[in-house]
Amino acid sequence: MTSATGNAVIRVRDLEKAYDIGDETVYALHGVSLEVRRGEFVAIMGASGSGKSTLMNIIGCLDRPTGGSYELDGVDVSSMSDDELSEVRNHKLGFVFQNYNLLPRMRAVDQVMVPLFYSGDPAATRQERAIESLRRVGLGDRLWHRPTEMSGGQQQRVAIARALVTNPSVLLADEPTGNLDSRVTEEILALLQESNEQLGVTILMITHEADVAECATRIVQIDDGKVIADRQVTDRRRAHHQVITADHDVVPVPADAASGQPTVSPA
Ligand code: ADP
Ligand code: MG
């Protein structure tokens, strides 16, 4: 769909989120305007309580503003019904959280197939697409592992594969490296940069760490529900260049996998 938004994939105007507490009105967001162009990698920075999660939840169609407007891909989503919003979430957005949010007993391939089920993807190709997405994040040798059998970094890569499998317009990441040590943080940031550059997915990432934000192409700072700074990262940091998506051989389906799983040939 074309519109006057041109290249803007996200356009929020005068966004407000107000909570009435007794006689008082508390603003979690107090007039946020922001345009994100297709292909940008934007870090949202701010102290605890500044409104980052509120903004992310509204942009992620998980919450509604009490004022202002929001267009995603040129479509006004601020007045959509719950069903329409979940449709938008399933087709246009991918989510990555600090705690990975994986389903505890599910194998990696099945985790990544879940959004394909909700987006109405043909059943016959779901598993193939999930495997492809896991291989892209370097987990060809962990396809049939459960979260308890993987490190934190591997679990976050499963979550990224799950977020990207539907080819979303926007990937929303809320403190994606918050639980990871510095080495694994670099791997995850390298993977996000690579996804941004090679797949062209627009990324919005919340962080409170300056050196994490520096891997983005743009840093937006919020405080007290308002944008207080917005700058391009001109000298783009190249610290995260470990090759982590070098593919591993695909491990064949184990004998105890659910029946009906096709056998996967090694690459
Ligand atoms: P951040 O993610 O930056 O830590 P939040 O977006 O979670 O900040 O919260 C922003 C502000 O809005 C905080 O002051 C918080 O207390 C307030 N807030 C968030 N949710 C609610 C709510 N349900 N009721 C009242 N106040 C809220
Ligand atoms: Mg928060």
pLDDT, tens digit (0-9, with 9 covering 90-100), for 82-107: 999 999 999 999 999 999 999 999 99
- Residue 7 confidence (pLDDT) above 90: no
Q: Which atom of ligand 1 is nearest to the CA of 17?
A: 12
- 112 found inside a domain: no
- Count the neighbouring beta carbons within 10 Å of the beta carbon of residue 222: 24
pLDDT at site 180: 95
- 215 found inside a domain: yes
- 145 found inside a domain: no
Stated pTM of the model: 0.88
- 77 found inside a domain: yes
First to last CA, the chain: 38
Which residues have beta carbons under 5 A from ligand 2 (an ion)?
53
Domain count, the chain: 1
pLDDT at site 126: 96
pLDDT at site 250: 56
From residue 262, give the alpha-carbon distance in Å to each of 167, 179, 257.
Answer: 23, 35, 10
pLDDT at site 237: 53
Distance 207 CA to ligand 2 centre (A): 9
- Name residues contacting ligand 1 (CB within 6 A): 19, 26, 28, 46, 48-54
Share of the chain above pLDDT 90, in %: 81
**Nearest ligand to the C-alpha atom of residue 222:** 1
- 127 found inside a domain: no
Instruction: For residues 82 and 62, give the distance between their C-alpha atoms in angstroms, rounded to a whole number.
Output: 9
Residue 78's pLDDT band, with cuts at 50, 70 and 90, is confident
Can you give the C-alpha Rg of the chain in angstroms? 19
Q: Which atom of ligand 1 is nearest to the CA of 50?
A: 3
- Residue 207 confidence (pLDDT) above 90: yes
SS3 label, residue 34? strand
* Beta-carbon contacts of residue 260 (< 8 Å; ≥ 6 apart): none
pLDDT at site 252: 59
Substitution candidate for ligand 1 out of 15, 16, 17, 19 with most atoms within 8 A of CB:
19
Instruction: For residues 111 and 107, give the distance between their C-alpha atoms in angstroms, rounded to a whole number.
Output: 6
- 1 found inside a domain: no
pLDDT at site 73: 94
- Residue 76 confidence (pLDDT) above 60: yes
- 257 found inside a domain: no
Instruction: Indicate the average pLDDT of the chain.
Output: 88
- 147 found inside a domain: no
Q: What is the pLDDT of residues 115-168, one digit of tens each?
A: 999 988 999 999 999 999 999 999 999 999 999 999 999 999 999 999 999 999
Domain of residue 33 covers: 8-101+168-249
- Residue 236 confidence (pLDDT) above 70: no
pLDDT at site 266: 41
CATH, residue 242: 3.40.50.300
Instruction: Give mean pLDDT, residues 187-214.
Output: 94
Q: What is the pLDDT of residues 240-267, one digit of tens each?
A: 545 455 444 555 566 555 433 433 434 3
pLDDT at site 192: 96
